[in-house]
Structure 1
Amino acid sequence: MNLSLYLLTVLIWGTTWIALKWQLGVVEIPVSIVYRFGLAALVLFGLLLLSRKLQVMNRRGHLICLAQGLCLFCVNFMCFLTASQWIPSGLVAVVFSTATLWNALNARVFFGQKVARNVLLGGGLGLLGLGLLFWPELAGHTASPETLLGLGLALLGTLCFSAGNMLSSLQQKAGLRPLTTNAWGMAYGASMLALYCVVQGIPFEMEWNTRYIGSLLYLVIPGSVIGFTAYLTLVGRMGPERAAYCTVLFPVVALNVSALFEGYQWTAPALAGLVLVMLGNVLVFRKPRVAAPVNTCLEAKQI
Structure 2
Amino acid sequence: MVNTLLYAITVLIWGTTWFAISLQTGNVPAMVSVFYRFTIASVLLLGVLKITGRLSKITARDHRFCLLQGMCVFCFNFLCFYSANRYINSGLESVLFSMSILFNAVNGMIFLKQKITRRFLIAGTFGIIGIVSLFWQDLQASNISSHILTGIGLSLLGTYGFSLGNIISARNQKQGIDVLSANAYAMFYGALTMIAIIFVSGTSFQIDTSISYLSALAYLAVFGSVVGFGTYFTLVGRIGTASAAYATVLFPLVALGVSTAYEGYVWTESAVLGLTLILLGNIVMFYKPKTSKAMTKRIRAVAER
What code does the residue aligned with 2:81 have?
A: F
Structure 1 residues 198-207 or 57-66, which shifts more?
A: 198-207
Contact 1:80 1:153 in 2 (8 A): yes
| 1:95-139: CA deviation from partner (whole Å, max 9, x where unpaired) | 110111111111111111111111122112111111111111110
Q: Give distance in 1, aligned partners of 2:91 and 2:118.
A: 27
Deviation at 1:227, TM superposition (A): 0.4
1:23-71 deviation per Cα after TM superposition (whole angstroms, max 9, x unaligned)? 1112110000000001100000111011100000001110000000000
Structure 2 SS opposite 1:47: helix
Give, in whole Å, the separation in 2 of the partners of 1:106 and 1:287: 26
- What is the Cα deviation at residue 295 of structure 1? 8.6
AA partner of residue 69 (structure 1): G
Q: Which runs of 5+ in 2 are unaligned?
A: none
Rounded to whole Å, the distance in 2 between the matches of 1:298 and 1:61 is 46
The one-letter code sitting in structure 2 at the alignment partner of 1:177 is: D
Match of 1:297 among 284, 287, 302: 302
Matched, 1:171 2:172: yes
* Aligned position for 1:37: 38
1:37 maps to amino acid = F
Partner of 2:260: 259
Task: Give the corresponding residue for 1:58.
Answer: 59
Helix, strand or coil: the match of 1:94? helix
Aligned partners of 2:43, 2:37: CA distance in 1, in Å? 10
Tell me what 1:83 maps to: 84
Residue 46 to residue 101, structure 1, CA distance change in 2 (3 Å): same
Give per-residue Cα distances to partners, 1:149-169, cap 9 Å, x unaligned.
111111111110000000000
Instruction: Report the counterpart of residue 191 of structure 2 in structure 1.
Output: 190
- Point out 4+ residue stretches in structure 1 off by more than 4 angstroms: 286-296
Query: Could you tell me how far apart the structure 2 residues matched to 1:143 and 1:252 are?
Result: 25
Which residue does the alignment assign to 2:239?
A: 238
Distance 1:287 1:106, change over 3 A: farther
Shift of 1:284: 2.0
Distance 1:251 1:9 in 2: 12
Q: Which runs of 5+ in 1 are unaligned?
A: none
On the 8 A contact 1:101/1:120 being kept in 2, the answer is no
Q: Structure 1 residues 272 and 236, CA, compared in 2 at 3 Å: closer, same or farther?
A: same
Q: Which moved more, 1:76-85 or 1:286-295?
A: 286-295
Q: Does 1:271 align with 2:276?
A: no
Which secondary structure does the structure 2 equivalent of 1:85 belong to?
coil
Structure 1 position 287, deviation (Å) = 5.3
Amino acid at match of 2:151: G
TM-score of the superposed pair, with normalisation by structure 1:
0.95
Q: Which amino acid aligns with 1:14?
A: G
The structural deviation recorded for 1:293 is 12
Shift of 1:141: 1.2
Aligned residues: 300
What amino acid sits opposite 2:91 in the alignment?
G
Q: For the Cα contact (< 8 Å) 1:118–1:286, is it kept in 2?
A: no
Listed one character per residue, the Cα deviations across residues 60-101 of structure 1 (whole Å, up to 9, x for unaligned) are: 110000000000000011111111211121211111101111
Read off the aligned partner of 2:223 and give its amino acid letter.
P
CA contact (8 A) 1:125 1:280 kept: yes
Cα gap change, 1:171 to 1:269, in 2 (>3 Å): same
CA distance in 2, matches of 1:108, 1:286: 23
Give the deviation of 1:208 after TM superposition. Answer: 1.1
1:292 Cα shift? 9.6
Match of 1:109, SS? helix
The CA deviation at 1:298 is 6.3
- Alpha-carbon distance between aligned partners in 2 of 1:208 and 1:255, rounded to the nearest angstrom: 27
Distance 2:78 2:187 in 1: 12
Q: Which residue of 2 aligns with 1:18?
A: 19
Shift of 1:297: 2.9
Please say if residues 165 and 240 of structure 1, whose CA atoms lie closer than 8 Å, have aligned partners that are also in contact: yes
Task: Give TM-score scaled by structure 2 length.
Answer: 0.94
